[in-house]
Amino acid sequence: MSFAYKSVLEIQEMIRNGEATSKEVWDYFMQRAETEDKNLGSFNSFNKEWFNDSDAELLGIPLGIKDIFCEKWVITSGASKMLSDYIPPYESTITKRLKAAGMSSLGKCNMDEFAMGSSWENSQIKVTKNPHGTGRIPGGSSSGSAAAVAAGLVPAALGTDTGWSIRQPASMCWVVWFKPSYGRNSRFWVMPMASSLDTPGTFTHTVKDAAYLYNLMNGYDELEGSSLPWKDTIDMSVFDTKDMSWVKVWVPKEYFEQGLDAWVKNKILETVEQMKSLWAEIVDISLPMTKYAVAAYYIICPAEVTTNLARLDGIRYGHNSQLSNNGVDEIYLHNRGEGLGDEPKRRSILWSYVLSAWFYDAYYKKAAQVRTLIIEDFKKAFEQVDVIVWPVAPSVAWELWKNCDDPLKMYLEDAYTIPASLAGLPGISIPCWFTESNDDKRESLPVWFQILGPRLGEEKLLQIAHTLETSMDVRETMIPKAYKA
C-alpha cells in the first residue's frame, strides 16, 4: 500500500479505520526515504535503529525534522562541521509535543548551516536538490524539510523561519508552508539564529494538515522567554467555508514592480483573479515603510546571529581543532575557523561591527526603530483588510551554484518575506501553478502565492488559504514526475 502524498489527516484516518497500522506507515516511509533520498539528499540522518518491533505502537506518523530541532540523544548538527557529533541532552518543546500526540521522527533534514542561507548551498553536510528540477536549488534554509515533503518521503516536516527559511523552500519545492505569529511556537532547544525573529513552522501537503499540526505545537512554554502565555486552537469547522464574500484582500502594487519576473507576476495575478471569482474584495492601501525592511533586517538579524554564534567556541562542545592553541585567540581562530562555514563567518565578522560601542546607535538602534515603524504600518493595514497577498520570491528556483558567490544578490532575494518577519506576522503559501524559468533552460517550475494575516490572526488566515486551495484543486500536480509513488 502506498502512503506517499497522503496527508497526515488521511493517514491518521486509515490507521483509525484499521486500513493500516502505525508500523506499516513507518516502514513504508523509512524504506521510501532510504531509497529515494540517495539522489535527492534531503536527509542528513535517519532514525532507522530508533524503534524495534516491540515499539510498534510508539512509531506514530513519521515527520522530517529540520536538523536544528534538538532531540534527546539524537545527533543534531545544524548542518555544520562545528556540531557534526553533537548529541543534545534535552528535547525541543515542539518535537516533544508532537511525539506526545502520536507523531515520530523519521530523521534529520538538511539545511543551510545554522539556518543561514536561502538556497541550501551553505550546508556543510550534503547537496539537496529540488524534486521538481534536480539541477535547481530547493530553497533554504529549511531545504531538506521542503524537499522531503515534496518528494513524498514524509507526509509533513518541521522547519524554522527567520526571514524566509520556511516560506522560500516550501514555495520552490511546491508544498504548503505555514509560519505562525512570532511567539506562538516555542523555540526551546531549537538552535537559535536570530532570537527575536526565529519561528518554528511546518511543511505539509494541505492547509488542513498545517492547522492540525499547529494545534498540537503551539501554546505557552514556561521554559522559553518569548512564548505567548496562552494556547491558540483552530476550530476545524472553519474549513467548511466555500467562498470569500466576507474577505477583504490587499495586493500591494510596490511588490509587483521592478525585480519581479514577468512569469511569476502573471501567475500570482491569475491567483488574485481566482480570489475575486470567490467574491473577495480587493482593497488598495499602502505600506510606506516596508521599502526599508531589507536594510533593517540585515542589521538586526546578523547582529543577533553574532551573539548566538558566540557560544560555539569548541571549548565546552563542538569542533575542537587539533592544531596547537597558544592562547585564547588561537583557540577561537582554529576551532571556529575550521568548524564554521563561510556564511556564519561572514555574518559573525561583519555584524560584530554594528554592535560595537562606536556604531550601535548609528546602525542597530536605528534599525530597531525602523522595525517599529514597519510593525505600525502593518497594524494600520490590517484595520482595513483581512489578508495581504504577494509573491514569496522574485523568481522561480534558480540553478545550483548560480548565485552562491554573490551574497548581496542572495540577500535581495528575501525582500518579499522579510517585512512579515520583522512584524512577527503569520503567513501561509499554497501552490499557484507552474511557469517557465527565466534562463536558457526554460524549465517549467513551481510558482507560489503568499498570504499574510494580522498578528495572532492564524484561524482566519488558514480559513482563507483553505478556501482558495480547494477552489484551485492543484494537489495532484504538486507531485514531481520523478517521485511518483
Q: Which residues are designated catalytic?
A: 66, 141, 165
**Bridge partners, 282 (sequence order):** 249
**Each residue of 297-320: b (16+ CB within 10 Å) or e?**
bbbbbbbbbbbbbeebbbeeebbb
At 480, give phi and psi (nearest 5°). -65, 140
DSSP 157: E
End-to-end CA distance of the chain: 10
In sign, the C-alpha dihedral spanning 214, 219, 221, 225 is positive
Cβ 254 vs Cβ 291: under 8 Å: yes
Cβ 356 vs Cβ 92: under 8 Å: no
- Alpha helices, H only, 107-186: 143-150, 167-173
- Strand arrangement of the beta sheet that strand 43-46 belongs to: 43-46, 103-109, 61-66, 156-161, 199-204, 176-179, 427-436, 444-452, 387-390, 248-250, 281-283
Q: How far is CA 180 from CA 26, 46, 218, in A?
A: 28, 28, 9
C-alpha cell recorded at residue 136: 535547481
Can you tell me the distance from the alpha carbon of 320 to that of 386, in angstroms, rounded to the nearest whole number? Answer: 52
| N residues, the chain | 485
**CB neighbour class for 136 (10 Å; exposed up to 12, middle 13-18, buried from 19):** buried
Can you tell me the distance from the alpha carbon of 438 to that of 20, in angstroms, rounded to the nearest whole number? Answer: 44
